[in-house]
Amino acid sequence: MHLPRLLSLSAVAGVLALLLTSFNSQAQGEQQLALIQLPLPPLATPSQAPTLEQVESTPAAQTAKQVQARKGDVLETVLKRAGVDVNTIYALAQADRQKLLTRFRPGDDFAVTFDDAGRPIEIMRHLNRTTRIVAQQERGRWQIRKVSLPVDIHIASATGTISDSLYLSGKRAGLSDKIIMNLADLYQWDIDFARQLRPGDTFKVLYEQRYLNGELIGDGRIIAAEIHTSGKTYRAFLLTDKQNETIGYYDEKGRNLRKAFMRNPVDHVRITSRFTRKRWHPIHKKWKAHRGVDYGGKT
């Protein structure tokens, strides 16, 4: 790795390390109400009321219809239920070279907007809360593109002490399943979470929270993390490019955390069984406490 990049990483690591270490470290007046008399607008006189001819000449507002894809549906059957004609469906299929509209799953929501003459002018498929596939007519041709809604990123922090497992300790610290699993992924080359963690070990995390229109919609990436276990401190810092795309995670000395071999080569992404005081035991055939978290690994 080049020296300037190492210096840059060290500077970033220094700033984020300060953020990580900082984890540990009006009477209301009476309201007066006043009654205000507001004059009512004058009643319309017969000469001011709209005539029947004026009402009939006013264009009707655009209408919209929503439908949900079912099992076995194709684009034609979905849009036909929304009232879209066959010619428009054919034109959409021809324009959808990237299969943004035609490749969907049961349960996906479609919204079709019609003009005052009943012609479809916009078709939208909801991918998730922040992403839409939008088809619109431009100069007589359908244009289909993916549109992302603007999301605000806030920085959150959490710190905790291990008393049993990383998962349960992380939940007590207020971390989501996603952040806990990403944290385990992050250190899978250095820490064996099944054998190495001990009660009293500590962790600290800086991570993104994603907001849409002021509402929290989920967590983003881990920005920095620190785990102290077995008398050693493991740090991780996110490195991004100019477009804020993730390059990878590095320690305070600029070394990539991704190594050739994992300490515990298990894919921790999927939890198959959580900690519970009552679980049906498949072998003993009775209800027993399950004092751990099972992970489903790839086969």
pLDDT of residue 85: 94
**pTM score:** 0.60
Q: What radius of gyration do the chain's Cα atoms show?
A: 29
Read off the pLDDT of residues 268-299 as tens digits, 9 standing for 90 and up: 445 566 556 667 766 766 777 766 666 655 55
Query: Which CATH code for domain 64-148?
Result: 3.10.450.350
* Distant-in-sequence, close-in-space partners of 63: CB < 8 Å, separation ≥ 6: 113, 114
Contacts 24+ apart (CB under 8 A), 131-140: 133/100, 133/101, 135/92, 135/95, 135/96, 135/101
**Percentage of the chain modeled with pLDDT above 70:** 68
Mean pLDDT, residues 211-217 taken together: 94
Per the CB < 8 A criterion, the answer to whether 203 and 225 are in contact is yes
Mean pLDDT, residues 212-223 taken together: 95
Distance CA(43)–CA(143), nearest Å, equals 48
Q: Which residue in the block uniquely carries the two structure tokens 């001011």?
A: 48
Among candidate residues 244, 205, 212, the one with its CA nearest the CA of residue 227: 205
Helices (H), 2-126: 3-21, 52-57, 75-81, 86-95
Residue ranges matching CATH 3.10.450.350 in the chain: 64-148, 152-250
For the sheet with 63-68, list strands across it: 63-68, 109-114, 120-126, 131-138, 141-148
Distance CA(268)–CA(166), nearest Å, equals 12
Query: Which CATH code for domain 152-250?
Result: 3.10.450.350
Read off the pLDDT of residues 55-98 as tens digits, 9 standing for 90 and up: 444 445 688 899 999 999 999 999 999 999 999 999 999 999 99
In the DSSP assignment, the letter for residue 256 is B
Distance CA(96)–CA(86), nearest Å, equals 15
Question: How far is CA 82 from its chain centroid?
Answer: 29
Strands 63-68 and 109-114: antiparallel
Per the CB < 8 A criterion, the answer to whether 224 and 233 are in contact is no
Distance CA(65)–CA(194), nearest Å, equals 52
Distance CA(211)–CA(207), nearest Å, equals 13
Distance CA(176)–CA(205), nearest Å, equals 12
Read off the pLDDT of residues 140-191 as tens digits, 9 standing for 90 and up: 899 999 999 999 999 999 999 999 889 999 999 999 999 999 999 999 889 9
Residue 254 has pLDDT above 90, yes or no: yes
